[in-house]
Amino acid sequence: MINETQNKTNSGLEAVEEVKEKAVNSKEVARETKDIFGDIRESSEQTSNQLEQIATSTQNLAQKSEEVRSSTAEIENMSSEVTHSSQELAEMAQELQGLIEEFEV
């Protein structure tokens, strides 16, 4: 009976030690999980910041593209005006040439 009590006591102590060891392991797993979630949060924040930077850069690029398009349209208008003026000048030169020829006669 004493041996049986000692065996049961030893089994109980072993069970307590097992539970204690599992508690320590669980605590370590919980700490590691907390660290991993912290890393995930940090990575998510970095990704969010990068997405904001990309959005800002995209908006800036769109604005610059619009400025280039606008400048190109202005250059096209100016080229048309120069072409029109050149044509008028050519017509005036022909008229002047005609007048000069009349004086020579």
| 69-99 residue pLDDT tens | 999 999 999 999 999 999 999 999 999 998 8
pLDDT at 12 over 80: no
- Mean pLDDT taken over the chain: 90
The pair of structure tokens assigned to 52 is 């904001």
Beta strands per DSSP E along 1-105 = none
Report pLDDT for 23: 84
pLDDT at 7 over 70: no
1 DSSP 8-state letter = -
Rounded to whole angstroms, the Cα distance separating 39 from 80 reads 61
Q: What is the value of pTM for the model shown?
A: 0.56
